[in-house]
Amino acid sequence: MDDFSRIGVIDTATESSVLVSSSRYLNNPRLGDAMTTAMLRRNGADRRVGWDSTNIVRAYWEVRDTAEVNRLLGEERRRNPAFDAFMEERFISSFTREDLADYAKGTLGRIFYDYLVAGDLDIALDPRLRVDPSWRPATDLEYFELRSAQTHDFEHILGGVGFDAMAEVVPFWMRIENWNRNMSPELAGEMVAVHMLLIMPMFTRVQLHYPAAYATLSDFVERGIQIGRAATPLFMAKYEPLFGLSLDEARAALNIPPVKLYDSSEISTYFGEGAPGTAKKAMAA
């Protein structure tokens, strides 16, 4: 076996009987197993495309330093008056599916309504709010995550993609780029971490098992980066005032460049080995 010590690659001895490294992520056995599985496996009827996310998110919660993230959010509030005002307001969306029904065809509100109806979906603004409408986030991190969940579907629509598996790449990369452009590097790193863990396995899985999907994957990364780089801080956006606008008007309000609808439902079906997408063509405007 070659000796790589001459270039600084040196094995480190340890008395530990378990995996030990300088990375909190690598040190978590659940995360190591979840990421390895997500990166190397094929998709199948027994474990569909999105199955991996549950174990990855659970493991991420185990390694996340919640107190440190809240501290960084506090620093960001002191550094950025606009972000401080956003966090102080604690705005929470409360619209229902029926509230969207009267918007004109082609508007942001109506496109979202048509998607919900086509999929027989209700608006899940937060499960805790369903249980207790008076529930409110206790920390900055709880509030930030609540708003991130409430606005995710609009990032799909304004990014010009559907809601199938491959389409997730666009809003994910919109956030990764937008957060890194508009937050301190330390805070962005914490916020981006789970998104990176969730999205990166798609790249190895596509190249190993579904190479015909690579062109779409690459196009979507580029689209997400371009949007995230150009847009206003999307994590502070309110979408209710934009419901009556056309998609191009709504995009302009957020400094999102014009994009055309990219229907990736067929390539997602191929990626999922024939598994039907969650919503194939509900985005037609």
52-85 pLDDT, tens digit each:
899 999 999 999 999 999 999 999 999 999 999 9
Largest Cα span, the chain = 71
Q: Which amino acid is at 101?
A: A
- Residue 14 one-letter amino acid: T
The full 3-state SS of 83-131, as one line of letters, equals HHHHHHHCCCCCCCCHHHCCCCCCEHHHHHHHHHHHCCCCCCCCHHHHH
pLDDT for res 278: 38
Closest CA to 227 of 141, 161, 129: 161
Residues in the chain, pLDDT under 70: 1-10, 124-125, 275-285
Phi first, then psi, for residue 106 (nearest 5°) are: 95, -10
**By the 8 A CB rule, do 229 and 174 touch?**
no
Q: What is the pLDDT of residue 283?
A: 38
Confidence at residue 129, expressed as pLDDT on a 0 to 100 scale: 77
Backbone angles phi, psi at 236, to 5 degrees: -105, 5
Tokens of 48: 């569909």
Q: What pLDDT sits at residue 215?
A: 97
- Whose CA is closest to 224, among 168, 184, 153? 168
What amino acid occupies position 240? E
What are the backbone dihedrals phi and psi of residue 250, each rounded to the nearest 5 degrees, phi first? Answer: -65, -40
Structural domain spans, the chain: 20-271
Cα–Cα dist 101/243, whole Å:
11
pLDDT score at 8:
63
